[in-house]
Amino acid sequence: MDSFKEPLKNWFGYTRRERRSALILLIIILTVLGIRFIIPERNTTIKEILISFPGHESDSIKSAEVTKVIYNQREVRPPRRQKPLLDINSCDSASLEALPGIGPVLSVRIIKYRKLLGGYATVNQLKEVYGLPEETFNRISSRVFADSLAVKKIKINKADYKEIIRLPYFKNYEVSAILKYRELKGTIKGMNDLIENKLIAAETVAKVRHYLDFGE
């Protein structure tokens, strides 16, 4: 047995103290390797490497801020400037033609009907213009208005047959009834006189009320 130990001692050539130190070192190495296998290795990204270098901290922060702005930024468009409304009682044909769906023919008809009425009391009266499609009216109705103060009124107690009949809402027999009533009764005081005495039809009342002046 001694003959077996002797070669080993000679082979290693270590003292007892050295062997103890080697054994402790071996244990430490095995412990470190064991921990390495138990705890997964953390991969270091390129970004982290850049941050670790001096002078790259500010660049990284700026990059992060720019990225945040790109992701969070919403497209902000300038508010659309609303076009001013067009007064159909004072505009010319060129202004009307600038509206969608209104060409030279319709613009002339709109102005011609305006003269016939003595001015538009409401925008809805554009529906009465010959040849104006409902689709076109729907497209332009929000872009126009009618200044009712510009309406030329008929002095119903003084006007003759020709002046009254020019309003397209009146029928011949209604104008004749008004003139006859005036001749017999004198002054027409208001819409109630026309309605109660059945001088005009019920559907005519709503259309002509904006166009009649009952003053002396």
Answer whether residue 156 shows pLDDT above 80: yes
Torsion of CA 118, 119, 124, 125, to 10 degrees: 30
Q: How many helices (H) and strands (E) does the chain have?
A: 11, 4
Chain centroid, CA 68 distance in Å: 28
Please tell me the predicted confidence (pLDDT) of residue 46.
42
What residues contact residue 136 under an 8 Å CB cut-off, 6+ apart?
Answer: 100, 101, 102, 106
Mean pLDDT check: name the lowest of 6-10, 92-96, 177-181, 183-187: 6-10
pTM summary value: 0.60
pLDDT digits (tens, 9 = 90+) for 10-42: 545 667 777 777 788 888 888 877 776 666 555
Q: Which has more confidence, 32 or 148? A: 148
User: Can you tell me the distance from the alpha carbon of 76 to that of 132, in angstroms, rounded to the nearest whole number?
Assistant: 38
pLDDT, one tens digit per residue, over 36-78 is 666 655 554 544 444 444 454 555 555 555 455 444 555 556 5
What is the predicted pLDDT for the residue at 125? 97
Convert the pLDDT of each residue in 99-124 to its tens digit: 999 999 999 999 999 999 999 999 99
Task: State the average pLDDT for the chain.
Answer: 81
Percent of the chain with pLDDT over 90: 57
Residue-level pLDDT at 27: 85
Contacts of 134 (CB under 8 A, 6+ apart): 127
